[in-house]
Structures are given as structure tokens and as C-alpha cells.
Amino acid sequence: LYRDWVVAALNADVPYDRFLELQLAADQMPGIEPTDIAALGFLGLSPSYWKELKLDPAVIKAVVAEEWEERIQMLSGTVLGLTVACARCHDHKQDPIGQDDYYALAGILASTRVTPRSLLPERDAQVAAHIRDELDSLARQRDELKKQQPQTVDLERQVDELAARIAAVERATPQLSAPVAYALEDASLLVLPDGPDRTKLEFRPGEAQNVAMQIRGNPSNVGPLVERRFLRVLSPNGGPQVFQRGSGRRELAQSFVTAAAPLTARVIVNRVWRQHFGRGLVETPSNFGSSGSLPTHPELLDDLAARFIANGWSLKWLHRELLLSATFRQSSGANPAALAIDPDNQLLWRMPRRRLDVEAWRDAMLVATDRLRPELGGADRSLDDSNNFRRTLYGNVKRRELSALLRLHDFPDPTQHTSHRDVTTTPLQQLFVLNSPQMLDMAQALAARVTREAASDVPRQVEHAWSLMFGRAPSDRERAQAVAFLQSGENGASPEALWPALAQALLGSNEFAYLD
């Protein structure tokens, strides 16, 4: 649901400032659509750790503190390009971020609870919640009756009656089948003792709390309480205002795009630039601090960020501005004179060659084989499913068990914030192209399409294959080699029988995997 919401929001060009606010505080914003609750999956789907309540409260407090750190790192790195989590144990060593800043943000998270929520209008959601409580009560009664021994005819009759009542209520309440999102609500989490070496977790809905600084990051050694607020260094001259509305999630989101607007805009502009050019104007997209890289073109970054805000935080405007620029439309061909001056292309004298991300690579194969299903939304499916022809965006991602396709092709670690993907070239990637069932199936499909659409004319088939794969005609040498291979009659094979081998070679080629 969160993925579908993000796709819909980007397609609708929801302004980036509102895009952020919805993801942090959609439940606190007036006039939203029920489906906007899915936006809260930004935090609602963040990793959470198992809390074994048979352990001492000190252990559980440490687990909760680890969750705060992960979420603060994700929030500050994604939105502000700052490493605020480095201030958990002490003031930041490089940037003007105090330990009190860290715990001011931690208080917001300590006052927020992840909770399932139906994507229904409020009144219908309340009805569904009431009915669900009633069904839970009936189910408990049924289960208790099943446990009684010996089982008599009368007990079996009562069990059947309860089962029938449950089924009748479910049929009469269509709201129960509405999708449920991982949402947020304001609720303080208290970690309390529950006897010797035992713990209980108590949520207090509607309450917010400030948390104490933890000396050297130790939850068992606390200092003074820190009020919930924004980072001091990014606040106006009067200093940060204490957050007063509930947990402070909405005030935090508003601070991102008001007090910190120049930085927030630079960070997202740099991320979009990196997506199109393969390298950001700042090469450390989640670290704009002193330990990060300096921008290669600071005036350009400033100009784009200022005009991005002036154009209503429109991401579509930003994409259009970059894609229609002379810089983007350059050739990627080499210029010996420029290469001698700037071999790393820091000054952008040519368009950088860049490899497709694994999602785009798989989608391109589905397009070439004429099997891509382009519809939007819906449930995810396994990428190992040979009948899954949807965009890779809708592939199932298991945090601890990635599919071979993703694991081998530089997919980022889904358990933590990742600022960028490291591009690797390994023997296992080529072995995947040679031996994986997915690639063999893609090759068969491409061969079938080429022979179907270009009849039995082998030279025409080769022309058609190059057009589908590379958007160009084959060179004379490529044409001659491909035709010779297909007409070689190796082991008595016909051209149709040899086409899958050639198709597999084309799918695994560098030209198909790179934007040039």
C-alpha cells in the first residue's frame, strides 16, 4: 500500500513539501483522503526489533534505543542529508549537532506507535474496528469451547453456532475486507519492570513524552530530559521552538520545509540529479555535513534548489528541467582534449555512461520480449516466479532473504538506510546471465518474438532483434556474424533452434545493460 501511494503521489506531482508532511503526519492533517494514510508507511514499515519480555527492562530499553537510532539516521539522512545519529552518544564530532538535538528527535519517536489502520473514511473505520473487536471476542469463546474435555454433542453444537455467527458477521460487514496499512498514532511507549528480570511494554495513546539524554548512549545512565524540537543549527535566530502538538511529527515535517527548506531542497535536487546523471553534484547524498563531499558545482545546486522551491516543490518540474538541459543531451563519446584535463568528468563535459539499476534492466528485458504488464498498483509477486511479467517495482522484497536477481545485482540492503548503490561487476552476475532460469526464459521469449515478427528471413530477423534490443541497426560486422551463426546449422539445428542462444548473448551484453 505504501508503494502504491508513493507511485500515485509522484504521478500526480504532489509537491515535495506536502509529500514529506503526508509521510510523517497524514493522520494529523485535515482534509486528507483515506488512502493518504498509507503514506505513513515511511516510518510504519521501518525495521523493528524483537523485544523478549522475559529479559530485564535495561535490555529492552537498549533495543528500543536502537530503533530510535535507525529511524533518526533514516529521517535525517534521507531528508536533510545529515548524520544526526552520530550524536547519540556525544555531540557530533564534525557537524554542529548536539547530543540534545538527537534526543529532541528521539522524543518524537518515543511518542509514536506503529499501528495497523484501515484505509476507510473515519466513520467506516470505527465501525470496522468495533466489529473486529466483536469477532475477536466470539473467536476466543469458540476456542475456549474447543479446549474443553470431553467434547460433547452440546459443546460441538455451541462451537458450530459461534462459527456460523462469525461467518454471518463477516459477510454482513464489507468494511472488514478493506486494505489495512502500517500507520502511526501518537502514543508514548514506557518500558516497565514486571517482576524479577521481566519487562512489560505500556503504550499510552494520545500522550507524548520527552526523553532523557543517555550518557554515552547508555539507556541505563540517563541525564536531563530534552524537550521535543527541531535541530538548533537549522532553526531561526530565536532558537528552536518546543513542539506542542502531540508527538510533534507534523511540526517536524513542517520544520523540514520551512526552517530547513534550503537544505531539504538541495538534498532532493541532488538525489534527482544523481538518478539522471549517475553521480550527484554532491557525491555523498545522505551526508551534506563536514565529513561529506563538497559539491562540484555549488552555484548550480543553489540555483536548482531555489528554483525548485519557487516552482512549488514540483518534482516533475525538476525532472523536466534536467532532462531538457544541454548537459543531459550531450553525447557520452570521448573528447581527447577534455579527457586530458578532466578524466573523471567532474565538469560534465560529456554525458556519463551508467549502468541500469537491476529494476530497469529486468524491465527492459520484459519490454524487449513484449511481455511487460504495465498496469499500476496491486499486490507484490516473487521475482523468481516465471509468470511474473510486472515491473520489478512490484517484486516481493524480503528483508532477510533477497531473490538472487536482486542480491547479485547491487540491490541495497533493505534493513537500513542506504544513500546510494555501489555498482559492482562480478563473475556471479555473468553466471546468472548464463545459467539462471529467468534469463533462459527471457532468451526463449525474445527468440520467439523475433522469429514471429520477422518471419523466416534471417537477415531481417537480425535487424529486428538489434532494433528491439539496442534501438539501432546492426553494423555490417555484427550482421554478418549473427547471420553466419544462425545459418551455420550447428548439429543440424535450424535458425529458429539457434535463436535462443543468440538472444541470450544479446540480453547479457554490455550495450543492453548500459545507458550510452
Instruction: Work out the pLDDT band at 176, boundaries 50, 70, 90.
Output: confident
* Between 325 and 116, residue with greater pLDDT: 325
Query: What confidence tens digit (pLDDT) does each residue in 269-306 have?
Result: 999 999 999 999 999 999 999 999 999 999 999 999 99
pLDDT(419) > 80: yes
From 169-173, 244-248, 357-361, the region with the lowest mean pLDDT? 169-173
Query: What confidence tens digit (pLDDT) does each residue in 333-354 have?
Result: 888 999 999 999 988 999 999 9
Instruction: Work out the pLDDT band at 325, boundaries 50, 70, 90.
Output: very high
- Looking at residue 124, what is its pLDDT? 82
* Between 446 and 492, residue with greater pLDDT: 446
Instruction: Work out the pLDDT band at 173, boundaries 50, 70, 90.
Output: confident
Q: Provide the grid cell at 199.
A: 519487562
Instruction: Work out the pLDDT band at 179, boundaries 50, 70, 90.
Output: confident
pLDDT(143) > 80: yes
CA distance 64 to 46: 13
Give percent of the chain above pLDDT 90.
Answer: 74
User: Do 191 and 60 form a contact (C-beta atoms < 8 A)?
Assistant: yes
pLDDT(326) > 90: yes
CA distance 500 to 440: 8
Query: What confidence tens digit (pLDDT) does each residue in 479-502 have?
Result: 999 999 999 887 788 889 999 999
Query: What confidence tens digit (pLDDT) does each residue in 3-21 have?
Result: 999 999 999 999 999 999 9
pLDDT(456) > 90: no
In this prediction, residues 22-48 reach a mean pLDDT of: 92
pLDDT(238) > 80: no
212-232 in b/e form (b: 16+ CB < 10 A) is ebbeebebeeeeeebbbbbbe
Local structure of 120: helix, strand or coil? coil
CA distance 34 to 57: 38
Distance of CA 182 to the CA centre of its chain: 14
Instruction: Work out the pLDDT band at 59, boundaries 50, 70, 90.
Output: very high
**Distance from the first to the final alpha carbon of the chain:** 35
- Looking at residue 219, what is its pLDDT? 92
pLDDT(133) > 90: no
Local structure of 48: helix, strand or coil? coil
- Looking at residue 236, what is its pLDDT? 87
- Looking at residue 172, what is its pLDDT? 84
Query: What confidence tens digit (pLDDT) does each residue in 394-417 have?
Result: 999 988 888 999 999 999 988 888
Q: Which residue has the cell 514486571?
A: 194
CA distance 405 to 185: 36
CA distance 5 to 14: 11
Instruction: Work out the pLDDT band at 260, boundaries 50, 70, 90.
Output: very high
Look up the pTM and report it.
Answer: 0.89
- Looking at residue 187, what is its pLDDT? 94
Q: Give CA separation, 214 vs 28, 103, 320, in Å.
A: 30, 8, 47
Distance of CA 26 to the CA centre of its chain: 18
Query: Which alpha helices (DSSP H) does 211-348 contain, by range?
Result: 249-256, 261-277, 298-310, 315-323, 336-341
- Calculate Rg over the CA atoms of the chain: 28
Q: What is the mean pLDDT of the chain?
A: 92
Residue 12 region, left (φ>0) first, then alpha (ψ -120 to 50), else beta?
Answer: alpha
Instruction: Work out the pLDDT band at 216, boundaries 50, 70, 90.
Output: very high
* Between 316 and 117, residue with greater pLDDT: 316
pLDDT(460) > 90: yes
- Looking at residue 489, what is its pLDDT? 80
